[in-house]
Structure 1
């Protein structure tokens, strides 16, 4: 991510946080805007062109997205007033704002847990991942399939995020999309996500102790996503972003084998 995009995204995120009346409809409109901008090289080029006057770029927003709510239009005008490193970064930025808007609109929902749960379903079904990630599939059909799969098992926010992302994967794997969305939601809620691999399910007490220990180590609230993985044999393997804490028996055995062979 270029420095221009980093600054633009920070300013756009602040604009979203300051917007009034952010709702699930706001998120839906922002996802629609991301798709529209991503689908049109002419539109994305016009909105991301640093040589064009800010007012001109904002006028394009008013002309193209005039049917959106005033709140969404205000956020989009802030977005295009910023300087982005590329048109692709602009599309990514609007998509991120849509995910953040979903988290704002549904503060009590378990978005991270539901997104993680669906990612495990995808991991266990390669054919499903291929179908949802294919460039050849009909976007509405993929969105409808997600809505059917999540019906009764996830809230409106999770369904909106997943169905919107699979409609426009843009060369990204579905699990990559879900991981990114989970991290964005956690960031919006002021916490980080730890993926924990364990041979057996963790008790509530174990979850509490682990979450507390990690929160102290990372100086903030940590949300746990637990993967049952017999390959770890015993102990735990914890990953937070690029940090890996591997206390599994499998890791110790591998280290021992390496030393014996060495």
Structure 2
């Protein structure tokens, strides 16, 4: 999605992110995030509006006046200012405007959790993703488009309730209606955005048995040194790996599992 933006869209997104960061100090970040999601949804669902606000032949002030008339009094003032700023800009692809507003909304929700709960938010998003991944019936229910988005959001709220941060609930609800192809993909991408907000990277670590606190800390430190920034571990226990571990961080894969080594030995014997 937004990570693939290029040209004018990439420049616009970077500048809007800077504006968002500067504006959140005096704003309700959760309200800003939720309202940005709402604006993105309206622009995606209304084809005529989307065409007008992304048409390079339409003057920026005309587009700003149009969206102000639509959203004024319905959005947090900070969110409205960002939407107005966004429609004045050039976009490489028409979908990039709404996708960027969603991205800004995710960043605002992450900021709403504060630095103190940054790790908790990341862990909760990972936990939500794993819960859905490991429960086919739940995954089917959340992806059932016969059910309304409101109904599926109610299901998410029932699952998470007051056991998670409000930001986790809000992001899980948005994962049902945003631009990503599945709920699980959205949650994984939101966790990456959350890590980037705090200048971290996310590593998915597959192991045969749970890591001790000392082993986890050593691995975090080693990966942080290697990548030049803090690394947050998502640990998945898979007994069938037999031993060792597989680390996935971005496009890099470090596979030191026993199963991998056995497969490699078989290939050498067969070759």
TM-score of the superposed pair, with normalisation by structure 1: 0.95
Distance 2:68 2:178 in 1: 26
Aligned counterpart for 1:125 among listed residues 126, 135, 139: 135
Distance 2:253 2:224 in 1: 15
Distance 2:85 2:60 in 1: 9
CA contact (8 A) 2:36 2:79 kept: yes
Note the C-alpha offset of 1:37: 1.2
1:229 and 2:238 correspond: yes
CA contact (8 A) 1:13 1:97 kept: yes
Which deviations, in whole Å up to 9, do the C-alpha atoms of 1:201-229 show, x marking residues without a partner?
A: 11111111100000010000111111111
Range moving further from structure 2, 46-55 or 251-260: 46-55
Aligned residue for 2:263?
254
Aligned counterpart for 2:38 among listed residues 13, 24, 32: 32
CA contact (8 A) 1:133 1:172 kept: no
Aligned residue for 2:202?
193
Distance 1:171 1:216 in 2: 32
Q: Unaligned 5+ residue runs, structure 2?
A: none
4+ aligned runs moved over 3 Å, structure 1 = none
1:10 and 2:14 correspond: yes
Distance 1:216 1:238 in 2: 15
Aligned counterpart for 2:159 among listed residues 140, 149, 169: 149
- 1:1-262 to 2 correspondences below 5 Å: 1-19=5-23, 20-67=26-73, 68-107=75-114, 108-109=116-117, 110-166=120-176, 168-170=177-179, 172-262=181-271
CA contact (8 A) 1:4 1:85 kept: yes
CA contact (8 A) 1:15 1:78 kept: no
Task: Give the number of aligned pairs.
Answer: 261
Note the C-alpha offset of 1:155: 0.8
Distance 1:187 1:81 in 2: 27
Distance 2:89 2:122 in 1: 29
TM-score of the superposed pair, with normalisation by structure 2: 0.92
Note the C-alpha offset of 1:169: 4.6
Q: Unaligned 5+ residue runs, structure 1?
A: none
Which deviations, in whole Å up to 9, do the C-alpha atoms of 1:65-109 show, x marking residues without a partner?
A: 102121111111222222222222211111111100011111222
Q: What SS does structure 1 have at the residue aligned with 2:204?
A: strand
Note the C-alpha offset of 1:198: 0.7
Instruction: Say what the alpha-carbon RMSD is for the aligned residues.
Output: 1.4
